[in-house]
């Protein structure tokens, strides 16, 4: 029996009563996908999956793809290890962002499986980009609907968080332009689609002209009432919708290890 427990008013739900080491039935898969689309990010507890089982779970939701910056774990090139070790001070991806928005076809979704977690800290925050867009005035919505944004893999705020993880691998710069407001292909809802990790300016605008409006949008996107917070345990899994969700791993556990495995699922060209 699938059970659902919301974890905040804005987004997020824990799903219980499932064993992810086994394939879903057609009916259960459809139900879980509906729950995911309704809540934007869903969480599963106590799922001690092997890498093979984790990949099989991901393949039920979409097409796993390789992450462009980091090589996958041995035997599974589409599973990357996201880790912060005891001596490190910077957390991988430790900034509000949407995964790889600098690609022409950003991922539909991301999955994260906790392998090792610190005794305290290391939570992840998530934010609802539907609510961020819907909170804006009609005048601001009309302006943003006309704009596209330039997204880059080398924006300093985000690239600094990858330095420990990408050592020894040649880094390529990726740049893509996407609508500032995208329409979700499955729900039809509009979501604000800029992020402080990768968006550098509006298309046709200078960096200076873009800066103040982008700063305002970044502040709107992460208002507390648009967010939820998830505390990890070994075997916890998060599945979030990159088309309408941002996330931020909280870097508050210096001196401890945190090791996660991540899979990203292929998406479409934002419209």
Contact 45, 14 (CB under 8 A): yes
At 171 the pLDDT is 65
| Best CA proximity match to 60, nearest among 221, 237, 260 | 237
* Residue stretches of the chain with pLDDT short of 70: 156-171
| Best CA proximity match to 242, nearest among 121, 151, 171 | 151
Give the structural domain span for 181: 3-265
The set of catalytic residues is: 97, 99, 247, 262
At 168 the pLDDT is 47
Please give the Cα distance from 216 to 136 (Å, whole number). Answer: 11
State the total domains in the chain. 1
Span 52-71, pLDDT tens digits = 999 999 999 999 999 988 89
Please give the Cα distance from 84 to 91 (Å, whole number). Answer: 6
Q: Is residue 184 part of a domain?
A: yes
Q: Is residue 271 part of a domain?
A: no
Tell me the CATH number at 43.
Answer: 3.60.130.10
| Best CA proximity match to 127, nearest among 195, 45, 67, 185 | 195
Please give the Cα distance from 192 to 23 (Å, whole number). Answer: 34
Tokens (6 digits) for 169: 């691998």
Q: Is residue 270 part of a domain?
A: no
Tokens (6 digits) for 221: 């996107």
Span 209-256, pLDDT tens digits = 999 999 999 999 999 999 999 999 999 999 999 999 999 999 999 999
Q: Is residue 167 part of a domain?
A: yes
Count CA within 13 A, CB hemisphere, residue 38.
Answer: 14
């Amino acid at each position: 029996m699938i059970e659902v427990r919301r974890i905040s008013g804005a987004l997020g739900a824990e799903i219980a009563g499932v064993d992810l080491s086994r394939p879903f039935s057609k009916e259960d898969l459809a139900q879980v996908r509906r729950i995911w689309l309704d809540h934007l990010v869903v969480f599963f507890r106590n799922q001690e999956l092997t890498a093979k089982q984790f990949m099989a779970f991901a393949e039920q939701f979409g097409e796993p793809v390789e992450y462009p910056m980091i090589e996958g774990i041995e035997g599974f090139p589409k599973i990357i290890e996201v880790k912060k070790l005891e001596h490190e001070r910077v957390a991988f991806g430790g900034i509000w962002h949407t995964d790889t928005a600098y690609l022409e076809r950003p991922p539909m979704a991301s999955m994260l499986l906790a392998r090792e977690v610190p005794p305290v800290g290391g939570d992840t925050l998530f934010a609802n980009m539907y609510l961020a867009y819907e909170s804006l005035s009609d005048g601001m919505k009309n302006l943003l609907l006309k704009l596209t944004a330039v997204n880059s893999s080398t924006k300093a705020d985000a690239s600094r968080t990858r330095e420990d993880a990408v050592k020894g691998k040649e880094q390529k710069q990726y740049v893509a332009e996407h609508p500032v407001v995208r329409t979700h292909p499955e729900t039809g809802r509009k979501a604000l689609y800029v992020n402080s990790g990768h968006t550098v300016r509006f298309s046709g605008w200078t960096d200076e002209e873009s800066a103040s409006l982008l700063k305002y949008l970044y502040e709107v996107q992460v208002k507390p009432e648009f967010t939820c917070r998830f505390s990890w345990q070994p075997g916890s899994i998060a599945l979030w919708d990159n088309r309408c969700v941002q996330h931020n791993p909280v870097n508050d556990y210096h001196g401890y290890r945190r090791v996660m495995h991540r899979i990203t699922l292929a998406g479409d060209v934002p419209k």
